[in-house]
Amino acid sequence: MSYLSGIDFRKKFAPLFEINPLLTDSEAYMILRENSFHVPNTCLYVAKKAPKPRSEEQYWIPQKSLNQLAVTGRLRGERTTLSSSPHDTQLTKCETTIDNELPDREIQKAKFPKVKPREIILLDDTDDEAESDIIVDERRQVSDNPDEGTADVKNQPQNADIPGSKRSFSVYEISDDSDADISDYDFGYDAGSDPEIYHGSQSSSSPSVIRPLAKVKSTKKPDQESETRTTPWISKIAGTLFGRSLRPVERNKDEKSWELALKEYREAMSLARRTGKEFLRESREKIMEIEYRAGDSILVELEDTDSELLHAYIIYLYDDESEGSMAHFRYFKHGYETIIGEIASPRELFLSSECANISMYQVKGKIQVEFRGKSDNNHVSGMGPIEEEYYASVDRYFYRLNYDILSESFTKASEMVIQNPRTPLENYDCHARDAADKMKKDQSLKVLDLNRDNGSATGFIYQGIEYHLKDFVYFVSETTSKKKKPYHIGQISQILVNNLEDSDSMSETDERENDELDVSLLVNVYKRYDDHFQAARSEDVGNIIELTTSYERRVFLRKSKTLRPERVDGHCYVRHIDDIEDFNSYKDLDDTFWVQDQIAHDLKKDLISVEDLEPMPGKHPRYSKESKKRLKREEEKAVSQKNGTKLTTLDIFSGAGGLSQGFHESGVVGTKYVIELDTAAAKTLKRNFPDAIVYNHDANKFLEWVVNDEADLNAGIVYDMENNALLKMPSRGDIEMIIVGPPCQGWSALNRKKGERCFKRELIATYLSLTVLTFPVILKAVCVMAQFIFRALTSLGYQCQRASLQAGVFGSPSSRTRVIFWASLPGYELPKYPRATHLFDGRVPKSPHCVRRSAPHWPITTGDCLSDLYSFEWTNPYVTNPETAAQKSDRLSRNENVTQYLCSVSSRALEYVGLAKQAYSTNPLNEYQRKMRK
């Protein structure tokens, strides 16, 4: 391995830059890396993808001019030759590179065949001359006069240009069919059909093949090609983030061209950044006499850091005897300091939760920061891009969102109120400081209703959660173990309090906080039925034994134990089976368990068996009032979600509807509109959501249609992929929620054929453009490219946050990590991310939104998912051992239970399979199977 400077790199890989002189060092290195640093393949790729020179354009030439050129050439006694085009030169250099560096490769063994490709080029002679055919042949000089003799050019180089031809071209195209096929399928384009589209690397272990030019030219483009389209604002902030500029949909033909608008925006952005940095530098270096007041926005230089000046807001001013003039201020965060990073707006600030006291000597200047977060009752008036208003001034900024550095979330900010200067210092208010004090207070332990006589209490608060006697709770093991285990389950029977001598001031009924109190809990422990009386999970897999019914929600009373409050981690619900009215509805709720048995506490753990279970009396256990209220609220919420009004939702890139189904099961989302290009997927979704309006159409062309319709242009009738007229798109405000799961092939690390020009990478910009047009209340996206998404959403005024979630911790029998974005209009609370419901054996991303010390249930395995399906016998395909009569009879009998489909069909009615429902071999064996059959 060697490290080369830029100059050495260009010298070593000179053939690449000779083939395409416009290639930059970075582009050349990227192409090399994507071709596994295979130089010949890289040369081939560069030659094919190099921009076509203008000399290849067709020009109308009168026939008499060609005659004059031919006569002039004969008088001079030399051939009339046109300059070789750069395109031919590129391929010639490419062939030389292959010959010199890989003499024994398959492609060199094949050589370049000595064939005579012919092309008929018709020249339109408007001078009324007779129309003639110019025959281009690499071995002959060509004249438009058929009576003239042809000179033998046997010794002419193969790629030499032909006199009289109006353009030169390459005889052969060298490509790797195996790679081309994969790339074409992935990107939806014909290889080589568009020089602006990047088709992935061309490295492959399969031998290269040579295709005649005629075959290449006869290749037809697919009927549907997707060109990424956006709104003008999304195009501006995207810049060249996707490897090229994205073309916006033009609303008005009289407007300036999008290229000019994009150029002007980039120049304004660059100027704003440059002048902003100069202003900060001058503010640091110059000492200016400026009068400051509460409510001013300032630049602060910290004493213990060499970082850039910080933006802040003065909450109040005061004098300190030792420090002199002081200020209590609250920090702003510039977009560069957030997750948005370098692509942030140069003029937008975000209000942070950090505050501090500083000396006025550290204040280096004054700036103007305007609050732009005001909105009407619909929360839309303050939305939209506004940052360009501030580019012209070096000291003007705006803010409308908070930024939380721990959760990397942006939320609606409130306008800061100027303090009355006559207010006593101790009464000055700071929202950031008050919020920090409250959080610290909520995290500490607080005892409720302390009884000093017997050293007990009726409840306590820990980490903001209130617990009472008779509550069922989760708690974790006292010792940590590498093996993950679900929560333990217990019921609080007593709350014991010690060290009362230090709390004489506490009354018997007051709620008081005292960190010195020694609090312990006596809990009745409930064990999981499956952990003791079902075959071990490893035995199920290893012995392939017949699976029995699992009761993962069933528990039994085992014993009592004492534990510290710090081990408690949330509430759960345990009900006697006789107290449950609707058993399945109860189990559908989160954190619910049921009990009907108990075991004597004096039996040893290793000796207990199912015969030791004794019926638990129906009056036992008892439940706290607070627990009953919580469970009732959960039941009412479930009914409301089932019967209540649903959010009108648009699903973009829906596929077969998996994302829509998940939101449908939440009970609050109703999928009303869907955009999906694939016809089979669109039909599947329509079958599962018959009330949904499905737009079986390209999202980019759909966006263009919507923009034209909104601008009152004649959008006309648009037809879907099956030539059905599309229904009109809903108006702005009709859609309350947008969900999207854009294709991930362009981003996935498992995709070895991805490239920076993959149009699927750009579809997130299409989604954000549809957001600009509809301004829904809530947005949800499953995707990557976090910086650009945050940049786009915050520039529009949306609150937004993200979290990396592992599907396995939510009861899915698979391992899939996805980045989930939530966004909402200001004034609406951002939806919370769900907490883990199941353990997961693999790595789980850490997220401040989903903190849980364990999970209520064991992982869901593929066995849990598939054990109720009919088994298949594939051990003997009857190739090695002939099929017996008994085996044939058994195979045919299975046809009665398993629906058969033809592999090849001609009827359109049978084009899509999977419409018939399959039978199950057993009743549901676990909760997962029961829920999947609902």
Ranges of CATH 3.40.50.150 domains, the chain: 646-857
Token pair in block for residue 358: 């500083």
Whether the CB-CB separation of 276 and 336 falls below 8 Å is answered with no
3-state helix, strand, coil in the chain (%, to 5): 30, 20, 50
Flag whether pLDDT at 676 surpasses 50. Answer: yes
Residue 2 is which amino acid? S
Q: Which residue has the higher pLDDT, 436 or 170?
A: 436
What residue ranges of the chain are covered by domains with CATH 2.30.30.490? 285-429
CA 374/CA 380 separation, integer angstroms:
9
Q: Which of 673, 828, 797, 794 is nearest to 739 (CA)?
A: 673
Q: What is the average per-residue pLDDT within 275-302?
A: 83
User: Is pLDDT of 573 > 70?
Assistant: yes
Q: How far apart are the first and last CA of the chain?
A: 59
H or E element that contains 545: none
> Is 572 among the residues known to form the active site?
no
Catalytic residue among 572, 744, 865, 903: 744
- Residue 913's region, left for phi above 0, alpha for psi from -120 to 50, else beta, is beta
Structure-block tokens of residue 637:
């919420």
Task: Please report the beta strands in 377-434, taking only residues with DSSP state E, as ranges in sequence order.
Answer: 396-404, 409-412
Q: Using CA atoms, how far apart are residues 655 and 675, in angstroms rounded to an integer?
A: 9
Which of 71-80, 288-297, 402-411 comes out lowest in average pLDDT? 71-80
∠ Cα 716 718 719 (to 5°): 150
pLDDT in tens, 34-82: 787 888 888 888 887 776 554 444 556 666 666 666 655 554 444 434 4
Q: Where are the extended beta strands (E) located within 372-430?
A: 396-404, 409-412
* Confidence (pLDDT) at 104: 38
434-437-438 Cα angle (round to 5):
85
Q: Which residue(s) pair with 488 in the sheet?
A: 475
Please give the Cα distance from 682 to 651 (Å, whole number): 11
**Is the confidence at residue 785, as pLDDT, over 70?**
yes
Continuous segment of H or E residues that includes residue 864: helix 862-866
Q: SS3 letters for 685-738?
A: HHHHCCCCEEECCCHHHHHHHHHHHHCCCCCCCCECCCCCECCCCCCCCCCCEE
- Joined together, the tokens standing for residue 902 give 């033809």
Task: Write the DSSP string, 14-80.
Answer: HHHHHH-TT--HHHHHHHHHHTTT-HHHHHHHHHHHSPPPGGGS-----HHHHHHHHHHHHHHTS--
Q: Mean pLDDT across the chain, nearest whole number?
A: 76
| pLDDT attached to residue 177 | 34
Torsion angle in degrees (nearest 10) through CA of 577, 580, 585, 587: -30
Which residues contact residue 76 at a Cβ distance below 8 angstroms, ignoring those fewer than 6 apart? none
d(CA 773, CA 729): 11
**How far is it, in rounded angstroms, from Cα 219 to Cα 376?**
56
Number of Cβ atoms within 10 Å of the Cβ of 154:
7
Whether 23 and 47 have beta carbons less than 8 Å apart is answered as: no
Write the CA distances from 740 to 233, 691, 743, 782, integer angstroms.
20, 19, 10, 6
Q: What is the pLDDT of residue 467?
A: 96
Query: 570's torsion region: left (phi>0), alpha (psi -120 to 50) or beta?
Result: left
Contacts of 351 (CB under 8 A, 6+ apart): 313, 330, 332, 333, 399, 401, 402, 403, 413, 416
> Residue 594 has what pLDDT?
97
Query: Between residues 592 and 14, which one has the greater pLDDT?
Result: 592
Peptide bond into 831 cis (omega under 30): no
- Upper half-sphere CA count for residue 901 (Cβ side, 13 Å): 15
Q: How far apart are CA 209 and CA 173, in angstroms?
A: 9
The DSSP call for residue 614 is E
Q: Report how far apart, in Å, the C-alpha atoms of 100 and of each of 210, 228, 931 are.
A: 19, 41, 65
The Cα–Cα gap between 931 and 857 comes to: 15
Inter-residue contact 234 to 785 (CB < 8 Å):
no
- Which CATH architecture is the domain 285-429 placed in? Roll (2.30)
Superfamily (CATH) of domain 646-857: Vaccinia Virus protein VP39 (3.40.50.150)
pLDDT at 895 over 80: no
Closest Cα partner for 244 from 72, 523, 51? Answer: 51
Of 84-93, 130-139, 248-257, highest mean pLDDT: 248-257
Average pLDDT value for residue range 87-93: 45
DSSP 256: P
Report the alpha-carbon angle 391-396-399, nearest 5: 100
Q: pLDDT tens digits for 606-635? A: 888 889 999 998 788 899 999 999 999 999
Q: Is the pLDDT assigned to residue 847 strictly greater than 80?
A: yes
The angle that helices 86-101 and 39-49 make with each other, rounded to 10 degrees, is 170
Q: Tell me which H or E stretch contains 459.
A: strand 456-462
Residue 192 confidence (pLDDT) above 50: no
Indicate the range of 411-415, 446-450, 917-921 predicted with least confidence: 917-921
